Amino acid sequence: MASNALAQIDWSAWTGLEPIPLGLLSDGDPATADLRLEGVLGSGGAYAYGLQLTAGLEYRFGTTAADDGFAELALLVDPDDGGVLWGNAAALGALGFDSEAAGAQAAQPVAVDADDQLVLLVAATLERDGGGPVDPGVPGGPFLLEAHADVPPQPEFTDNAVYRFVKLSNGMYFYTASEAERALIETSYPDLRFEGPVFVGDDMPREGWVPVYRFANLVNGSYFYTADLAERDTIIETRADLRFEGEAFWVPGEPAENTLPVYKLINLDTGGYLFTSNPVEKLYALLQGGWQDEGIAFQSLVPQPAAPAPSESGPLGETGLDEAQPLGPDADASGTETMAQTSTDTALLDGQTEPPEVVLIGQASPEPDLAVDGTGL
């Protein structure tokens, strides 16, 4: 049976029905039918049409019931094994689908992995004995079937901020690119404080991108993220204390002109992890002590700059501000300060010998909360 078949019929029962070869080519307009079949089925009658389906196209089929109440049965069948790849609601109902499932499946498009020769069957009844219908008296009637062959719509990718939360009870960080998950946490988990966007990825896969996998530490309540498939497998096999929570978000698979690295730091006191694309935040953490640099974890897209707000001082370049200013440890991915800071970033970058007094947001407490509920939050 075809791997994506909905059902299977005994195609040998239809050996006496010779398929009529037809072409089904796309006209480039999804709104118009590329093939229209209209005719009349006699009592117990049937027609078969041979169609070549091409990989990379998406095919949609539909029938229109006649006013006299006759409902033809239409199936798209693989003659090699009798696998049914599509059927209208009447035909799927005859194959045992309930009315809701039959209607839903009938509306689904069909795609093939490789070019394939299939048969479109239109019949008054599916009951056959090889030589013809079991009951030749089943009434027929007019039928109308339309087919579309179109290039499937491409997903509209939208860059997603990856948001950071800090767990107030133990200082551990949590990251998500899901707006739904972010909203759930903000409304249902008061122990998790929202710290804003920290780098840019996507909440769905893209070509050339890789998933970032999430693990929940059942001992110290922290979260670990990795885009390394081998590391993921090793953790699953050897670390019973780390619960695998699947794909958290997706990021570019390789460095490029429009990417920047996301750094991984581990807190040597608590075992918690900090992930940041902000080199200044990374530097502050290391200067505080207690944090160890573990290199680049994965890549982030370069954040797109927000449109500047109108200013009475004139257009950008006439205000006396530098064109680019470094992000502080409390700045989000767009450069907006989200937390109060006791000193500016530039003071350290200008050669200050003593680091400014800074409290890194999310600094772990000496006694982490060991309780982790079923959501990993």
Question: Are the beta carbons of 166 and 338 closer than 8 angstroms?
Answer: no
Q: Alpha carbon of 240 to those of 58, 63, 268, 358: distances in Å?
A: 44, 54, 21, 36
pLDDT of residue 341: 34
Q: What is the dihedral of CA 96, 102, 105, 110, to 10 degrees?
A: 70
Question: Are the beta carbons of 259 and 252 closer than 8 angstroms?
Answer: yes
Q: Which residues, in sequence order, are CB contacts of 183 under 8 Å at separation 6+?
A: none
Q: Alpha carbon of 54 to those of 11, 62, 83, 95, 150: distances in Å?
A: 22, 19, 17, 27, 10
pLDDT bracket for residue 85 (50, 70, 90)? very high
| Mean pLDDT of all residues in 169-193 | 93
What is the rounded average pLDDT for all residues in the chain? 79
pLDDT of residue 330: 43
The CA distance from 156 to 73, in Å, is: 36
| Mean pLDDT of all residues in 368-375 | 34
Instruction: State CA 347 to chain mean position distance.
Output: 43
Question: Are the beta carbons of 131 and 137 closer than 8 angstroms?
Answer: no
pLDDT surpassing 60 at residue 273: yes
Side-chain-side CA neighbours of 157 within 13 Å: the count stands at: 14
pLDDT surpassing 70 at residue 192: yes
Q: Alpha carbon of 290 to those of 265, 277, 363: distances in Å?
A: 10, 19, 10
The CA distance from 116 to 344, in Å, is: 65
- Kindly report, residue by residue over 203-260, the tens digit of the pLDDT: 888 889 999 999 999 999 999 999 999 999 999 999 999 999 999 999 999 999 999 9
- Residues constituting the chain: 377
- Kindly report, residue by residue over 325-344, the tens digit of the pLDDT: 333 344 444 433 333 333 33
pLDDT of residue 131: 66
- Kindly report, residue by residue over 143-161, the tens digit of the pLDDT: 889 999 988 765 544 568 8
**DSSP letter assigned to residue 138:** S
Of the two residues 68 and 11, the one the predictor is more confident about is 11
The CA distance from 113 to 368, in Å, is: 51
**Token pair 């049965």 is at which residue?**
73
pLDDT bracket for residue 300 (50, 70, 90)? very high
Q: In the chain, what is the straight-line distance between the N-terminal and C-terminal CA atoms, in Å? A: 43
- Kindly report, residue by residue over 124-145, the tens digit of the pLDDT: 888 877 667 777 777 888 888 9
* Pick from 13-17, 79-83, 146-150, 188-192: least confident: 13-17
